[in-house]
């Protein structure tokens, strides 16, 4: 095969800049702010928490300019252009709509809500306000996925027939209580499944049929599932998702003329092998950003989209996020334990 395509991503520096505000000063917010400030030209000007004290502590720890004591105060700040929502899933719809109604562009952590209805409510609020709303499906913004998208679009591995994705990590109850709490949208399906079903859709297109089985923990949240997604023309994707045990994190996309095989967990900046016929080449991320440092890419892509006057992400459009949420809704119904009379 000829050389692999070049990654077509928004550069981390030198492009348009947004003044970001963060809601939800927890684990991912810290990692996001750190990599955005270290690796991009974006500014993070404010952080909002349900407690002013927690916001102030986060601002001091992560170099954010100011702290406020409520999401409402954050979205009212005239010097914030765009809001990054990093709370548990259960708050994504309310805070996404709050930000859009206040006229702010909004990037919402994955999954964009608990259901497709939540995602639609965010989309509609953004449309009304004329702002951009996007799900922070950061994996799609990584250079590697730009290369994979081009390989699929160019037909370099022939017609895609099969995809696999195994997404999961063992989550101790004490380390991440939100994942074990039904009220906060806990469970493996929403937290990890969103990556697996997004990848399935990315690889084989829209789902025509889904089959799934799952298991539930004592708290009432799903802790593991396996599913088969069938798309047009009998394309198939098989996924496993678990927070009960760490699985490989690997995935593959197999076509009639070759295959893409991830060599590292696909959610992160990863290496993958591309086979066409008997030739195999390995693509490696040379950006220097490892693991969650890769969260930086989506911030510059969103800033570029806003500067271009767009109200949707060209990389991960909100309709794709809604479609994935519909897949998660279907899987939730399929794996639900039988109700007792």
Task: Please give the residue ranges that form the binding site for ligand NAP (CB under 6 A).
Answer: 24-29, 49-51, 54, 86-89, 91, 109-110, 136, 138, 178, 184, 191, 292
* Residue closer to ligand NAP, measured from CB, 24 or 255: 24
Of 110, 123, 140, 316, which is the active-site residue?
110
d(CA 37, CA 282): 30
Which run of H or of E encompasses 225? strand 222-231
Question: What 8-state DSSP symbol labels residue 217?
Answer: -
Residue 181 CB, shortest distance to ligand NAP, in Å, is 8
Residue 29 CB, shortest distance to ligand NAP, in Å, is 6
* Residue closer to ligand NAP, measured from CB, 54 or 66: 54
* Residue closer to ligand NAP, measured from CB, 138 or 197: 138
The tokens describing 45, both together, are: 């000007």
* Residue closer to ligand NAP, measured from CB, 192 or 236: 192
d(CA 33, CA 293): 10
* Residue closer to ligand NAP, measured from CB, 171 or 274: 171
Task: Report which of 50, 1, 47, 11 is spatially closest to residue 255, judged by C-alpha positions.
Answer: 1
Establish whether 110 is a catalytic residue: yes
- Position of minimal CB gap to ligand NAP: 26
Tokens 């692999």, located at residue: 4
3-state secondary structure of 332: helix
- Cα Rg for the chain, rounded, in angstroms? 20
Residue 95 CB, shortest distance to ligand NAP, in Å, is 8
Residue 160 CB, shortest distance to ligand NAP, in Å, is 26
d(CA 258, CA 140): 22
Alpha helices (runs of H) in the chain, residue ranges in sequence order? 27-39, 52-62, 71-75, 92-101, 116-129, 143-153, 188, 194-204, 296-307, 318-335
Instruction: Specify whether the CB–CB gap between 106 and 77 falls below 8 A.
Output: no
Residue 110 CB, shortest distance to ligand NAP, in Å, is 5
User: Which active-site residues does the annotation give?
Assistant: 110
């Amino acid at each position: 095969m000829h050389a692999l395509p070049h990654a077509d991503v928004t550069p981390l520096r030198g492009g348009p800049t947004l003044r970001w505000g963060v809601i939800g000063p927890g684990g991912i917010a810290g990692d996001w702010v750190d990599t955005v400030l270290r690796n991009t030209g974006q500014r993070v000007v404010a952080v909002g928490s349900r407690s002013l004290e927690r916001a102030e502590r986060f601002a001091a720890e992560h170099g954010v300019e100011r702290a406020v004591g409520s999401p409402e105060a954050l979205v009212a700040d005239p010097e914030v252009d765009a809001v990054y929502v990093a709370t548990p899933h259960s708050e994504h719809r309310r805070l996404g709509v709050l930000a859009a109604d206040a006229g702010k562009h909004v990037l919402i952590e994955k999954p964009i809500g608990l259901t497709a209805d939540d995602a639609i409510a965010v989309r509609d609020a953004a449309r009304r306000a004329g702002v951009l709303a996007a799900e922070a499906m950061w994996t799609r913004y990584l250079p590697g996925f730009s290369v994979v998208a081009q390989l699929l679009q160019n037909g370099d591995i022939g017609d895609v027939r099969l995809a696999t994705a195994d997404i999961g990590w063992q989550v101790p109850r004490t380390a991440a209580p939100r994942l074990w709490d039904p009220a906060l949208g806990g469970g493996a399906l929403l937290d990890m499944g969103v990556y697996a079903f997004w990848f399935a859709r990315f690889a084989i297109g829209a789902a025509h049929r889904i089959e799934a089985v799952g298991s539930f923990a004592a708290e009432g949240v799903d802790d593991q599932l396996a599913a088969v997604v069938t798309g047009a023309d009998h394309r198939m994707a098989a996924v496993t998702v678990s927070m009960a045990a760490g699985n490989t994190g690997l995935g593959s996309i197999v076509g009639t003329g070759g295959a893409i095989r991830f060599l590292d967990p696909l959610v992160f900046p990863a290496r993958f092998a591309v086979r066409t016929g008997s030739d195999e080449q390995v693509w490696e991320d040379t950006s220097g950003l490892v693991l969650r440092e890769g969260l930086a890419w989506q911030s510059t892509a969103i800033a570029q989209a806003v500067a271009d006057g767009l109200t949707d992400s060209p990389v991960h459009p909100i309709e794709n996020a809604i479609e994935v949420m519909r897949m998660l809704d279907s899987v939730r119904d399929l794996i639900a334990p039988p109700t007792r009379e």
